[in-house]
Amino acid sequence: MIPPFVDIDFLEAHPEAVLADVRWYLDGRDGHAAFEDGHIPGAVWVDLDRQLAAIEHLDTDGRHPFPDPDAFAAAMGSLGIANDTPVIAYDDTGGLTAGRLAVMLRMVGSEAAVLAGGLNHWTGPIETGPGRVPSPATFTAVEWPQARLADAGEVEKIIAAGGVAIDARSHERFLGGGLQIDKRPGHIPGAVSGPWSAVLDDNDEPREPAELRDHYRQLGVDDVHEVVAYCGSGVSACMNVLAMEHAGLGTPRLYVASWSGWSADPDREAATGE
C-alpha cells in the first residue's frame, strides 16, 4: 500500500495514477466551478456529494453517509479508476476533502493517497475548463469492511471501554459554538477535540510521524484501546485516519454519520464545553 500522503515527486514518478480533484466547500462554494477555473493538468473532478456519499438517506445517517458498494464502484469506474489503479487525491484545503476519497479507496484495498499541500503547493502549469474525459474502467464492488467502521452504539462502547473518540471539527464547534449546520451544537459525550487541521504543519503539509505520535498520545491514544474518528459528516475525520496511519499508530475506525447523524437522534445526549 502506498503511504497515505505523497508529494509532487511521487506524483511525477507515477504517471499511471489517476489524479483526483476532490474540492468541496462547507460554505457552499461550488467545487466544480473551482475545478474549471483551474486544476492540475490531467485531473478529474470528483463530486463528493454524489460520488462519495449516498444521495438518499436518513438524518441519523449523517450528511455524507457512504454510498452502497455498487454505487461507489460505478462512480469510480466512471472516473477511470479500477480496483488496481493508484489514485492521488488533492484539494486546496490541506487534504480536508481529498482525504475522504483516499480513505474510502484504502478501506477496500485500493492504492490511494493525498497529495501533500494539494493545489496550493503545485508549481506547474494550471489547466482550465472541464478537464479530460476519463476512459471508463471496471471497478468491482467491495463491501465496506465493518471492522473499519463504527456506528453510534459502537462509538459509545469504545468510549466506555477506555477508547478514544477524536472529533476533527474545529475546537469552537466541538465546544458548541461556531458554524451551526447540524440539529444540535456540541459533541459526543466523552470525545476529545482533535481538529483535522492539527495534523498539518505551518506549511499546510502533514506533520512528521514523531510529531503526530506525540499529538495523538496527548489526546489519549495508546497501544491498547480502540480509536474512532469522527467530525461533522465523516469527511474531515478522514485526515485523522490518514495521519494516524502516517504516524504508525494503526488505523482508527471511522464513524461516518459523525456529529450530523448523532445530533439528529434525540435519544443521544450532546455535550458542550470542554
- As annotated, the active-site residues are 231
Alpha carbons within 13 A on the beta-carbon side of 32 = 7
In contact, 163 and 226? CB cutoff 8 Å: yes
Residue of 217, 255, 261, 263 lying closest to 236 (CA atoms): 255
Residue 19: phi and psi, rounded to 5, are -95, 120
CA angle (117, 86, 10) in 5-degree steps: 45
Beta strands 18-21 and 44-45 are parallel
**Rounded CA separation 217/185 (Å):** 27
Q: DSSP secondary-structure letter at 207?
A: P
**Rounded CA separation 197/194 (Å):** 8
Q: Where are the alpha helices (DSSP H) in the chain?
A: 8-13, 31-37, 48-51, 69-78, 98-107, 152-160, 171-175, 209-218, 237-246, 258-262
Grid coordinates of 182: 447540524
Grid coordinates of 250: 494503526
Q: Can you name the residues that pair with 112 across neighbouring β-strands? A: 87
Q: Can you name the residues that pair with 206 across neighbouring β-strands? A: 200
